[in-house]
Chain A
Amino acid sequence: MERDFYNEDFEELIKEKTDQYKMYPSDKVWKGVYNSLHARRRRFVIGMSVLISGILIFAGKELLTPGKPALAQKIIEIKPALAKATPDEPSVGLAPFKKEKHPSGGRSSEANNDHAQNFNEIFALDIVPDPAKETVAIPAATTGNIATNTEILANTNPAPGPLTAAPALVAGNIVQHPRLDMVVPNPDPEPDIAKLNIAASIEAVHKAALLRINEDDKKQMDWLQERALQHLAPIKQHKLNWQVYFSPTVNYRKLSGGNYADSRSTVQNVPIALIHVGNANDFVDHTPAVGYEVGGSMMYRLTRNLTLKAGLQFNYTRYFIRAYSSMPELATIQLNSNFGYFADSITGYTNVRNFGGKSKEYLQNRYFQLSAPIGLEMRIFGNGKLQFNVAGTIQPTYLLNKNSYLLTTDYSNYTKEPSLFRRWNLNGGLEAFISYQIGGLRWQIGPQFRYQLFSTYTDQYPLKENLMEYGIKIAISKIIR
């Protein structure tokens, strides 16, 4: 190709031809861009939804459907009533024990426990409040043929409250009681002679049966009084608790390092820009802001006073920055090398100034973090109801967002540089709290302090920022049975 060219032509040609050139990127580039812009938020929403749903389901299950514990509590409540019963005054409700093969003594402890368990099961059936049962009264006047029965029943002294006659006795029909193995005849208002004879024979059989039952009941009660009730298995100590908590917090940061005067760097955003010498804290206008943390944990009681806990926690931490808007200008961040001096820099554009600009702007540095606190909780003093505790945790933390502001090296501007943020960090937490047991739940409230042990930024960034949170933690915990 014949072409005259000199400097300007050459540059023009190069520019023209290169500007014409286009290349089409592969699909993975857009996927990468899209995932970076949207997937992080989606992951965060999904993660938080799973966490909150899990906590709510677990808490709902424990709070709304207590199940076994309530039954066990009712059984425990009935023991005093049993203890008051004398061997001479067996309750009708105790009759089922006649079928048990326990002698009045000489049982192994396992057998005793089994017996006690059966006893509880049977009682549990009868303690359910039922108006029909409570109105049980077998009227002696209405029946001639079951006079003996009523006589026997009249001699019995039913235990107070729910300890009433078995339902089968009030049914009104001749029924086979599932446990008594006895027949209870239906009173006939107009008995004839044949019926009376039959009734008389039945009466004799029943009388003998009921007398035998009565004796067996007495023996049973004796046995229970002497052995079973005093050898019931102790209440099991439950060592596992779950806890959910929420803490409104006041957040701030500790800023250190990066003294521009020490850097001996000549890099500035603009060649004639002022050099701000000194501690970064003297050149920034930051103020604390309110954040929060929410989470759940499982707690295992190691000893009477010491509890191990581990869980998952979400932190929303932020603080305010007062800055100024400006026209887009260069923002340069000098990077530390491993040897402690500036070796490289990152340059970008920003329209946020630290000093004088077009108008004031209030920015926020916001951090969304997921933590896994692991720690120990110690009871200092208190009883089962009211306690004072202290606790400490170490919290491996994952930073979910990297779009906070950084100061440029000469403190003149704020810019965003995601590559300089540390994804994984470590936090330490301290708390003291008062806890109070109400029903099956333990409520606690107290101050807490959380400190980020490593800088928010990577080692390449000259400034170090350690986040701090002061808060009031409110928590609910419950024993897992």
Chain B
Amino acid sequence: MTEEAILIGCLKNQAAAQRELYNRYSPKMLAVCYRFAHNREDAEDMLQEGFIKVFSQIHTFQNKGAFEGWIRRIVVHTCINNLKKNKRFNENIDILHAGSVQVREESVPAIVQAKQIVDCIRILPVGYRTVLNLYAIEGYSHKEIAGMLDIEESTSRSQYTRAKQMLEDILIKKKILQKPKEKIQWVAGIR
């Protein structure tokens, strides 16, 4: 079934087309939700809500951009709204809290796996994680993030810097990544 046929079927509220669209995009979108969510169950709830919105608002898709991108935006906004509703986003986000996150050192396979990266992102505090997801992965600007999360643009920038630093530390501690010498020197110089 072509994407156009799926789109037309969904506009007619046909279950077969809706199922096809769901099968095509739900694995990627669940991964998106999983990065924002507290656990898999929450991620599935977000995914369900997101797809309900996708199907109920599909008439607003104007076929000018990528369909996947449109779905992804809706899913991301659903995740953000869900975090806001559940007040999880309002947890304190500060560097002290981030510094207290315990990272377990363990042997890791030589090949970097996508799952490991995602798991490391999910270790981050919810505020850091959200900003990092939105900026580095979803491609929103700090201005847009500030609007979505009701925070200042500068806050978004600083949160992202800290989130990235923390993720880097986690990845290194888990031996998923190794710091380059130049960077170590640069960091040592700062200190």
Contacts and interface: CB of A to CB of B under 8 A. Distances in A.
A349 B54 CA distance: 11
Nearest to A266: B150
Contacts of A327: 62
A225 interface: no
A173 B84 CA distance: 98
B180 A5 contact: yes
A15 B74 CA distance: 19
B147 A330 contact: yes
B52 A4 contact: no
Contact of A37 (B52, B73, B80, B81): B52
Contact of A10 (B62, B110, B148, B164): B164
Interface in A264-304: 267, 271
A15 B137 contact: yes
A155 interface: no
A23 B136 CA distance: 20
- A interface secondary structure, majority: mixed
A17 B113 CA distance: 7
A377 B49 CA distance: 45
B115 A348 contact: no
B137 A14 contact: yes
Interface in B40-70: 40, 43-44, 47-48, 51-53, 55-57, 60, 62
B38 interface: no
Interface in A330-359: 330, 332, 344-351
B47 A25 contact: yes
A101 B91 CA distance: 95
Contacts of B13: 37-38
A345 B150 contact: yes
Interface in A401-419: 403, 416, 418-419
A1 B121 contact: no
B136 A347 contact: no
B48 A18 contact: no
B168 A10 contact: yes
Interface in B14-49: 15, 18-19, 22, 26-28, 30-31, 34-35, 40, 43-44, 47-48
B30 A25 contact: yes
A3 B178 contact: yes
Contacts of B74: 348-349
A33 interface: yes
Contacts of B103: none
Given A14-B136, A25-B47, A34 B167 contact: no
Interface residues of A, number: 49
A18 B121 contact: yes
A344 B53 CA distance: 20
B183 interface: yes
A192 interface: no
Q: Which of A2, A21, A34, A37 is the most central at the interface, judged by chain B CB atoms within 10 Å of its CB?
A: A21
B167 to A, nearest CB: 7
Contacts of A6: 180, 183
A29 B34 CA distance: 14
A28 B44 contact: yes
A274 B148 CA distance: 18
Given A267-B150, A330-B147, A23 B77 contact: no
Contact of A22 (B28, B80, B167): B28
A276 B126 CA distance: 34
A226 interface: no
Interface string B81-111: 1001100000000000000000000000011
A416 B56 contact: yes
A309 B32 CA distance: 54
A20 interface: yes
Contact of B143 (A30, A37, A271): A271
A293 B84 CA distance: 39
Given A14-B136, A14-B137, A25-B44, 9 more contacts: A1-B178, A18-B114, A19-B28, A22-B30, A23-B27, A37-B13, A37-B15, A267-B147, A346-B81
15 contacts: A3-B178, A14-B132, A14-B167, A18-B114, A19-B28, A20-B114, A21-B114, A23-B30, A24-B26, A29-B48, A30-B19, A36-B52, A345-B84, A347-B77, A347-B147
